[in-house]
Structure 1
Amino acid sequence: MSAAPNPHGTSFAHRLGWGERPALVVIDMVRAYTEPDGPFALPAPGPALENCVSLVDAARDGGAPVVWTVVRYTSGLADGGLFVRKVPALAAFAEDAPGGWGEIAAPLKPAPGEPVVAKQYASAFSGTSLAATLAVSGVDTLVVCGVSTSGCVRASATDAIAHGLRPMVVGDACADRTTALHDANLADLDAKYADVVAVDDARRALSGTA
């Protein structure tokens, strides 16, 4: 039986493949997205949250680094730049904002020694220490999960490949405002910037059982 044709043609969607040293980055999986009354509430965050939990467990079991990101601004949003003008609801992530919307969603919880990177823009790499942290740990493959697929996940994956890392985006461990946005961005990431992988494959790689 012949392989299914590549829907992107021969120019796109080649495989990067796994490297030798993966790390997991959990992107912005905070209450603002997972709670039904949150300012960025997603329609169905449960499956992605559950899969993020399983990836974190696998990474810890295998000794793979786990890094978390959150969005955080100073009181008054002086470090929010034009981003907070474009998306005023980001004010929910100011350090003195009510609601605790920037808190990582339960049952996820960083373990002692796991870095929590505070960022002000979409990419986990923009203006942060993430690239240096991964380089010192010898990481060559970055497993990406979290929210939202079209925003911070996408920006982080495209910046990962620009930093010489192999981005592995776990589609079922990400979520977005609509299924259409989620699916379209996964397809485009898989075509040009990352390998979109299954949860089970990512778990095996992180746990060292692949």
Structure 2
Amino acid sequence: MTKRIWEDLLTERDKQVISAAGYDKEGASSWESRGMGTNPMVLVIDMQRLVVGADEPILNAVEEYRTAMGEIAWNAIDHIEPFLEFSRNHEIPVTYTRVVPSSYDDPNHEDLDIVDAVAPKEGETVINKSYASAFYGTDLLSRLVRGGHDSVIIVGNSTSGCVRATAIDAQQNGFNVVLPQECVFDRIEASHKIALMDLWMKYAEVLERDEVESWVEGIDE
């Protein structure tokens, strides 16, 4: 059973509300908020140098890039890197996004590069975006429709920002959303946990990485 990493933030009443309203079993009652699908695409959100930074405590990492998350990001990379290889081995397409801040005149600046540990392989798509959601102002929706995909597996950052915005837009466009919780991260622990809980309650399936891999293996059977 999935370990719900946000449980330590909930009051006893919070837990009772979640159970009494059925969020723990069915998610949101207004729409099909949880599902897995049979033809997923992996979305790798903004795994760039200025966001990842060096593998060091975050308070050191922000001295080079104010947006860097340091060891928080690298702890997630320890799971993202093998998950991407697993996905490729099971012929699940992998698509990347890069955020290009308005403060950068050069979209090819090295700060915006995806870090080598989880870099795209030859032929994999990299989508540039200007806002939080990978859907806003991009051709991602067209790519998903053309590929016949019914679900997205989202990894990367930040849980409360670009991951959340992308997950909500994916769900509202009719796609199932799956989040391997070890593969997403945020600079603030409380934001990470609460964002994951909100997504689980209303928009997405939040599972441990090995559970997601078991689902992917089941698709092949």
TM class, shorter-chain normalised?
0.7 to 0.9
Aligned to 2:50: 32
Q: Pick the aligned partner of 1:50 from 60, 78, 81.
A: 78
Matched with 1:95 is: 106
How far has the Cα of 1:174 moved from its partner?
A: 0.9
Calculate percent identity across the aligned residue pairs: 30
1:82-136 CA-to-partner distances (Å, cap 9, x unmatched) read xxxxxxxxx2x542686x2211012111112211010000000001011110111
Tell me the residue number matched to 1:107: 117
Count residues in correspondence: 188
- Residue 128 of structure 1 pairs with residue 138 of structure 2: yes
Q: CA deviation at 1:146?
A: 0.2
Q: How much does 1:10 deviate?
A: 2.0
- 1:66 equivalent to 2:94? Answer yes
Distance 1:6 1:168, change over 3 A: farther
Other-structure match for 1:12: 23
Aligned-partner Cα distance in 2 for 1:125–1:97:
21
Is the 2:36–2:205 Cα contact (8 Å) retained in structure 1? no
Q: TM-score, normalising length from structure 2?
A: 0.78
- Alignment partner of 1:23 out of 22, 25, 41: 41
> In structure 2, do the counterparts of structure 1 residues 178 and 72 end up closer, same or farther at CA, with 3 Å as the change threshold?
same
Deviation at 1:45, TM superposition (A): 1.3
Q: Does the 8 Å contact 1:167/1:194 carry over to 2?
A: yes
Q: Is the 8 A contact 2:152 2:176 kept in 1?
A: yes
Q: CA offset at residue 206 of structure 1?
A: 3.8
Cα distance in 2 for partners of 1:186, 1:106 equals 27
Q: Secondary structure at the match of 2:42?
A: strand
Q: Give the residue type in structure 1 aligned to 2:52.
A: T
**Is residue 193 from structure 1 mapped to residue 211 from structure 2 by the alignment?**
no
Structure 1 residues 206 and 102 mapped into 2: Cα distance closer, same or farther (>3 Å)?
A: farther
8 Å Cα contact 1:28/1:147 also seen in 2 = yes
Q: Indicate if the aligned counterparts of 2:100 and 2:107 stay in contact, CA closer than 8 A.
A: no
Give the alignment's Cα RMSD to 1 decimal.
2.1
The change in CA–CA distance for 1:33 and 1:12 in structure 2 (over 3 A counts) is same
Greater helix proportion? 2
User: Which blocks of at least 5 consecutive residues in structure 1 are unaligned?
Assistant: 78-90
